[in-house]
Amino acid sequence: AQTVTQSQPEMSVQEAETVTLSCTYDTSESDYYLFWYKQPPSRQMILVIRQEAYKQQNATENRFSVNFQKAAKSFSLKISDSQLGDAAMYFCAYRSAMDSNYQLIWGAGTKLIIKP
C-alpha cells in the first residue's frame, strides 16, 4: 500500500522569504501523480500544484515549485516570496495512475505560518 509522509508538522517563514515543505512517499508503482493542496483555516482544500511521475521536469505555478526526486521518492514544495495569504495547512497527496484507482492518499499535513 502507498503511504505519504510529511515530517514537518509546522513551519514558519518571514514574509517575502522562501520556504520548502518536505514530502516523501512509498510506492511500488512506476506511474503515479503527486499533488500539493492548501487548506486555509476554515476554508476548503485548494490544489496548489501537481506533478506527473513520468515527467522529469519539475512543475511550477507562479511562486510555487516542486523538487521531484523520483528515485528518492521525494516531492518537496518551494514557496518563493511568501505572502500572508500563504498561511495554511499544506497537504501532499499521491494518486495511482492505474485506471479505476482514483483515490488520493494524503500526508498528515504541514502548518505554514507566515511572520509579518
Partner 1 sequence: DTGVSQDPRHKITKRGQNVTFRCDPISEHNRLYWYRQTLGQGPEFLTYFQNEAQLEKSRLLSDRFSAERPKGSFSTLEIQRTEQGDSAMYLCASSLAVATSVPDTQYFGPGTRLTVL
CB atoms under 10 Å from CB of 99, counted, come to 6
Cβ distance to partner 1 smaller for residue 107 or 114: 107
Q: Is 101 in the site for partner 1 (CB under 8 A)?
A: yes
Regarding 99 and contact with partner 1 (CB under 8 A), the answer is: yes
Selected binder of partner 1 within 8, 11, 27, 50 (CB under 8 A)? 50
Angle in degrees, CA 58, 61, 65, rounded to 5: 45
* CA–CA distance, 29 with 37 (Å, rounded to integer): 22
Q: How many helices (H) and strands (E) does the chain have?
A: 0, 12
CB closer to partner 1, 15 vs 40: 40
Q: Is 44 in the site for partner 1 (CB under 8 A)?
A: yes
Would you count residue 91 as binding partner 1 (CB under 8 A)? yes
- Grid coordinates of 115: 511572520
Instruction: List residues near partner 1 by CB under 8 A.
Output: 4, 33, 37, 43-47, 50, 52, 91, 93, 95, 97, 99-109
